[in-house]
Amino acid sequence: MTLRDLVRTSALAVMCAPLVLLTGCPQEDTAAPGNAPVQATAPTITPPASGDAATTSQAAQSTEQSVDSSAHAFKVQQLINSAESAYRSGVDNYRAGRLDAARLDFDSAVDLMLTSGMNLKSDPQLADEFDHLLNAVNSLEMAALKQGNGFSPKIEEAPLDTAEDLTFPADPELTAKLKAELQISSDLPLVINDQVAGYIGYFANSPSFHAHMLRSMERAGKYKTMILKALADNGVPQDLIYLAVAESGFQPQVLNAKSGAGGMWQFMPTGAYGLARNGYFDERFDPEKSSIAYAKYMKTLYNQFGDWYLAMAAYDWGPGNVQRAVQRTGYADFWELYRRNSLPKETRDYVPKILAAVIMAKNPEKYGLDKMVPDAPVVSDTVTVDYAIDLRLVADVTDSSLTEIVALNPSLLRMTTPRDTSFDLHIPVGTRDVFTERLKEIPEDKRSSWRFHVVRPGETLDGIATSLHAHVSDVVAANGVALNDGVDTGDELVIPVTTAAAGTRPQRYAMRRGDTLVTVADRFGVSVEDLRRWNHLSSKAVHPGTSLAVVEPVKLAPGTHVHGRGTRRKSSVHAASTSVHQGSAHPASTHKNSKPATSSASGKATSKKSSSEAELNSTTKTKKKATR
Any residues with CB less than 8 A from the CB of 93 and at least 6 apart, and which?
Answer: 99, 101, 102, 105
What's the whole-model pTM score? 0.66
| pLDDT, tens digit (0-9, with 9 covering 90-100), for 480-493 | 888 888 899 999 99
Write the pLDDT tens digit of every residue in 82-125: 888 888 887 877 777 666 667 677 777 877 777 777 877 778 88
Closest by CA position to 83, among listed 39, 132, 123, 40: 132
Q: Is the pLDDT of residue 566 over 90?
A: no
Average of pLDDT values for 571-575? 30
Residue 273 phi, psi (nearest 5): -110, 15
**pLDDT confidence of 232, banded at 50, 70, 90?**
very high
Whole-number Å distance between alpha carbons of 358 and 275: 27
Burial of 52 from C-beta contacts in 10 A (0-12 / 13-18 / 19+): exposed
CB 446 within 8 A of CB 496: yes
Q: Residue 508 pairs with which residues in a beta bridge?
A: 549
Q: Of all residues in the chain, what percent carry a pLDDT higher than 90?
A: 35
Q: Are the beta carbons of 448 and 390 closer than 8 angstroms?
A: yes
* Position with higher pLDDT, 158 vs 479: 479
CA distances, 207 to each of 166, 175, 176, 195, 214 (Å): 16, 22, 24, 20, 10
d(CA 609, CA 133): 10
Output phi, psi for 430, to 5 deg: 85, 10
405 pLDDT above the threshold of 70: yes
- Name which of 189, 420, 412, 411 is nearest 293 in CA terms: 411
Distance CA 473, CA 476 (A): 5
Is residue 442 exposed (0-12), middle (13-18) or buried (19+ Cβ within 10 Å)? buried
Cβ–Cβ < 8 Å for 189, 359: no
3-state helix, strand, coil split of the chain in percent (to 5) is 45, 5, 45
DSSP for 531-542? HHHHHT--SS--
Q: How far apart are CA 602 and CA 238, in angstroms?
A: 34
Chain segment 360-381, per-residue pLDDT in tens: 998 898 888 988 999 999 999 9
Average pLDDT in the 424-442 region? 97
Query: Would you say residue 26 has pLDDT above 70?
Result: no
DSSP 45-82: -PPPPS--HHHHHHHHHHHHHHHHHHHHHHHHHHHHHH
- Give the model's confidence band at 512: pLDDT under 50 very low, under 70 low, under 90 confident, else very high: confident
Q: Diameter of the chain by CA atoms? A: 98
For helices 207-233 and 345-361, give the axis angle rounded to 10 degrees: 90
Q: Flag the least confident range among 134-148, 182-196, 591-605.
A: 591-605
Phi, psi of 426 (to 5 degrees): -95, 130
User: To the nearest whole number, what is the mean pLDDT of the chain?
Assistant: 75
Q: Which residue has the higher pLDDT, 119 or 193?
A: 193
Torsion sign across C-alpha atoms 517, 522, 528, 531: negative
Top pLDDT among 9 and 90 is at 90
- At 54, the pLDDT band (50, 70, 90 cuts) reads low
Averaged over 136-143, what is the pLDDT?
Answer: 59
Radius of gyration of the chain (CA): 28
Q: Give the pLDDT confidence of 60-73 residue by residue, as tens digits.
A: 566 666 777 788 88
Q: Look at residue 267 and give its three-state secondary structure.
A: strand
Nearest residue to 383 via CA among 425, 422, 330, 429: 425
H/E run at residue 143: helix 124-147
Whether the pLDDT of residue 326 is over 80: the answer is yes
Q: What's the rounded Cα separation, in Å, for the pair 301 and 308?
A: 8
Instruction: Look at residue 565 in the predicted model and tell me its pLDDT.
Output: 27
Helix axes 207-233, 287-305, angle to 10 degrees: 80
Per the DSSP assignment, residues forming a β-bridge with 584 are: 579
Does the pLDDT of residue 552 top 80, yes or no?
Answer: no
| Beta pairing, strands 451-454 & 423-427 | unpaired
Distance (Å, whole) CA 583 – CA 520: 54
